[in-house]
């Protein structure tokens, strides 16, 4: 028996495994990296391509993880029940360990937390969760979480965003639960247990998230306490104005002069709440405040009312004109047409027109409006060519 075989046998006996259940040696393959195709949602074990061994490592005899079913012992000699990991082969565990080596401590903490809050109905997805809740549960600053940790996990293909809503973000976890636990080092040697204090902190964070009002962006401001929210509303004057203050802080992070931009929204909000004279204004004119929005609404409403009034006036005038013309006799109507024709024909400029009909109709309309006004004073439209008395 070679030295390598002896090491494998000793390790198998240490974890209580027989020769028949020992992990088979890894076959030599062409170098390659990572998955050959995206894993299907909810899959316990992703489809992996050939592995590329790192220099100085032996995948068959010096693997960082020994995965079997049954009981194992921790560093203190206590038995630890490991889950049934027969679906996670040694090759996958090596890839997961190498993938986890690319993550920092905070990224592994965040990934481990997301792995623990998988949906009961859809294992490949988490329950809705906000930045603030992840920040508290994983012990990572919210800004650092948003700018560094989550993009890193997404770049490595460990998470994706399935849906965003007011309740929070649902993350897609393409790898199975056991695979992710190896990535986060939770199954190396012994399984990491969630302490009662961590469970209490998670529960408290969940309860805090549940009492956050709907008008607050939970991904940006989910870490706010109920007391801070109440103080914000009291100082701003209303929930609408409190929401505007939060929106302005976020807006000022990317707008205005560089020296005026917000670099720490937490400190800006704390200064606003602590200083009675402090105020929050947009860095430029691109932000529509409540006052500007109200002024725009009032202006638009005035324009609509003016248009409706003008339309009603035109409709009333047209109805009066129709009623006036219907009251005239045929002789009076002929008089209006002849009068309009005579006045147009008497103009020198009309002689150069090929058709004078448009001018006739314009002049006739003027005469109708004139005689409508005259009729209000008791005058009647003539029926003959005689001029009316002045």
> What is the arithmetic mean of pLDDT over 95-104?
85
The Cα–Cα gap between 243 and 8 comes to: 62
The Cα–Cα gap between 326 and 330 comes to: 10
Domain limits, the chain: 33-222, 225-309, 328-390
- Range among 19-33, 36-50, 80-94, 289-303 with highest mean pLDDT value: 289-303
Closest by Cα among 120, 107, 116, 124 to 172: 124
> What is the arithmetic mean of pLDDT over 71-82?
43
pLDDT bucket at 174, cuts 50 / 70 / 90: very high
> What is the arithmetic mean of pLDDT over 60-87?
40
At 258-302, the pLDDT tens digits run: 988 998 888 889 889 988 888 999 999 889 888 888 888 899 999
The Cα–Cα gap between 255 and 283 comes to: 6
DSSP per-residue codes, 20-88: TTSPPPPPP-----SBSSPPPTT-SS--B----PPTT--TTTS-S----SEEEE-TTS-EEEEP--TTS
Residue-level pLDDT at 36: 35
Contact criterion met (CB below 8 Å) for 361 and 341: no
3-state secondary structure (DSSP) of residue 169 = strand
Residue-level pLDDT at 220: 86
The pTM of the whole model exceeds 0.75: no
Closest by Cα among 208, 240, 239, 204 to 222: 208
Residue corresponding to tokens 């004078």: 356
Q: Please, what is the angle between helix 226-236 and helix 265-274, to 10°?
A: 60
> What is the arithmetic mean of pLDDT over 177-202?
64
More confident residue, 60 or 386: 386
Instruction: Kindly list the distances between the CA atom of residue 203 and the CA atoms of 57, 80, 160, in Å, as whole numbers in the listed order.
Output: 42, 25, 24
Residue-level pLDDT at 165: 83
At 227-240, the pLDDT tens digits run: 889 999 999 999 99
> What is the arithmetic mean of pLDDT over 206-212?
60
pLDDT bucket at 200, cuts 50 / 70 / 90: low
Residue-level pLDDT at 204: 56
Residue-level pLDDT at 203: 54
Q: How far apart are the first and last CA of the chain?
A: 136
Instruction: Kindly list the distances between the CA atom of residue 363 and the CA atoms of 32, 72, 355, 370, in Å, as whole numbers in the listed order.
Output: 91, 107, 14, 11
The Cα–Cα gap between 349 and 34 comes to: 89
The Cα–Cα gap between 325 and 337 comes to: 12
Q: Does the structure show a pLDDT above 70 at 191?
A: no
Residue-level pLDDT at 218: 85
| Range scoring the smallest mean pLDDT among 64-73, 81-90, 305-314, 348-357 | 64-73
How high is the mean pLDDT of the chain? Answer: 75
At 107-117, the pLDDT tens digits run: 999 999 999 89
At 119-170, the pLDDT tens digits run: 877 889 998 988 888 988 888 888 899 899 999 999 989 999 998 887 789 9
Contact criterion met (CB below 8 Å) for 156 and 34: no
Q: Where are the alpha helices (DSSP H) in the chain?
A: 3-14, 90-100, 105-116, 131-138, 142-144, 150-155, 177-183, 196-210, 218-221, 226-236, 239-251, 265-274, 290-326, 330-345, 357-376
DSSP per-residue codes, 96-124: HHHHHTTS-HHHHHHHHHHHHTB-SS-TT
């Amino acid at each position: 028996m070679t030295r390598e075989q002896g090491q494998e046998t000793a390790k198998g006996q240490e974890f209580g495994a027989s020769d028949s259940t020992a992990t088979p040696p890894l076959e030599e393959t062409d170098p390659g990296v990572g998955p050959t195709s995206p894993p299907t949602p909810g899959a316990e074990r992703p489809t992996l391509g050939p592995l590329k061994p790192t220099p100085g490592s032996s995948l068959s005899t010096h693997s960082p993880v020994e995965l079997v079913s049954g009981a194992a012992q921790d560093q203190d000699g206590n038995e630890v029940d490991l889950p049934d990991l027969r679906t996670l082969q040694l090759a996958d565990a090596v890839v997961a360990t190498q993938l986890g080596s690319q993550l920092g401590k905070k990224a592994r903490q965040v990934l481990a937390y997301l792995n623990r809050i998988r949906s009961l109905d859809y294992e490949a997805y988490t329950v809705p969760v906000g930045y603030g809740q992840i920040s508290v549960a994983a012990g990572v600053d919210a800004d650092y979480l948003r700018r560094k940790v989550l993009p890193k996990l997404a770049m490595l293909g460990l998470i994706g965003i399935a849906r965003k809503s007011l309740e929070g973000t649902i993350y897609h976890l393409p790898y199975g639960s056991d695979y992710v636990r190896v990535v986060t080092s939770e199954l190396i040697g012994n399984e990491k247990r969630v302490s009662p204090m961590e469970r209490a902190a998670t529960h408290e964070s969940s309860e805090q998230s549940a009492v956050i009002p709907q008008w607050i962006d939970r991904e940006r401001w989910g870490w706010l306490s109920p007391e801070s929210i109440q103080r914000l509303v009291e100082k701003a004057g209303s929930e609408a104005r409190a929401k505007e203050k939060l929106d302005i802080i976020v807006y000022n992070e990317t707008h205005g002069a560089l020296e005026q931009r917000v670099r720490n929204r937490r400190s800006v909000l704390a200064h606003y709440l602590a200083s009675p004279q402090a105020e929050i204004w947009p860095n430029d004119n691109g932000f529509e405040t409540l006052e500007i929005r109200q002024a725009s609404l009032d202006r638009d409403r005035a324009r609509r009312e003016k248009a409706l009034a003008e339309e009603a006036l035109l409709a009333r005038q047209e109805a009066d004109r129709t009623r006036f013309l219907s009251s005239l006799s045929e002789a009076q109507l002929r008089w209006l047409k002849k009068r309009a024709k005579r006045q147009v024909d008497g103009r020198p400029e009309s002689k150069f027109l090929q058709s004078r009909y448009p001018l006739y109709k314009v002049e006739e309309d003027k005469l109708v409006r004139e005689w409508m006004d005259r009729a209000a004073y008791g005058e009647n439209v003539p029926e003959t060519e005689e001029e009316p008395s002045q």
